[in-house]
Copies of this chain bind each other. A is one copy, B any other.
């Protein structure tokens, strides 16, 4: 009568073991940089074979929770999670959502604008002289006529990352990671004319100046101008990219060893079709 109809097993041995070790790390039973037992010893402890242990460890390694080294002093160690790594992971996950069409660029752009507005207000109080210096360097780089388009975009990203860093709140930095990096591929598709570049650089300079004067409102205005230009440019680039759609798609699978790669025709148009929700 008292048969348990649930709670048997649903996710395989390796998955369960991975969860147990992860839980141990989360609870602090395994401290950072602590070496956990050998794979063979773990196999004995959990009463499974070594490949199963290895699969469990691989799952954890994929999440940057542990690292492994060979040799006598080697073994498996608990990784200390870094803000930079977490940030990278979030950016990747967000980019994946975008490429799969689960997130619209319009939503991301709005969130980015709101978050950077927030950063403008906080950075006006907290920015350091070093961050202002970095901004100046990027602005002068952006005014270099010989800069390639992608270098220009990279510099743009660095400027805005500096703006966010100037807010001096790591949690806010982390929360902004996705919306900043996920927007970069779209921006990279734009080719800025010389006049646009100057405009962008001027707006960056305006932000920099406002932050130097600790004037949050002025920084916010400059940021808003920048965002307006960006959306205008994006719409123009989108319109220009809708015409040449003749590019033949390569057969989807077809990948043996090296022949991957190809088009990046990630349906620009569909993603851009995001709207405001009708009440």
Interface positions of A (Cβ within 8 A of B): 14, 18, 20, 23-24, 26-32, 34, 45-47, 51, 54-55, 58-63, 65, 80-83, 86, 89-90, 93-97, 99-100, 102-104, 107-108, 110-112, 114-115, 118, 122, 126, 128, 168-172, 174-176, 178-179, 252-258, 260-267, 270-271, 277, 279
The distance in angstroms between the C-alpha atoms of A12 and B86, with both chains bound, is 22
The distance in angstroms between the C-alpha atoms of A170 and B111, with both chains bound, is 9
The distance in angstroms between the C-alpha atoms of A96 and B32, with both chains bound, is 12
Q: Is the CB of A94 within 8 A of B260?
A: no
Taking A126-B279, A179-B171, A279-B168 as contacts, is the C-beta distance between A28 and B90 under 8 angstroms?
no
Chain B residues with CB under 8 A of A47: 258, 260
Q: Shortest beta-carbon distance, A146 to chain B, in Å?
A: 28
Taking A59-B59, A80-B100, A114-B118 as contacts, is the C-beta distance between A260 and B24 under 8 angstroms?
yes
Q: Which of A26, A58, A168 has the most CB of B within 10 A?
A: A58
Q: Is the CB of B58 within 8 A of A260?
A: no
Chain B residues with CB under 8 A of A29: 252-255, 260, 262-266
> Closest chain B residue to A260 by CB distance?
B45
Q: Shortest beta-carbon distance, A106 to chain B, in Å?
A: 9
The distance in angstroms between the C-alpha atoms of A153 and B253, with both chains bound, is 49
Q: Is the CB of B24 within 8 A of A255?
A: yes
Q: Shortest beta-carbon distance, A25 to chain B, in Å?
A: 8
Q: Which of A34, A107, A114 has the most CB of B within 10 A?
A: A114
Q: Is the CB of B58 within 8 A of A28?
A: no
Chain B residues with CB under 8 A of A254: 29
The distance in angstroms between the C-alpha atoms of A60 and B104, with both chains bound, is 24
The distance in angstroms between the C-alpha atoms of A91 and B61, with both chains bound, is 18
Q: Shortest beta-carbon distance, A265 to chain B, in Å?
A: 7
The distance in angstroms between the C-alpha atoms of A267 and B115, with both chains bound, is 31
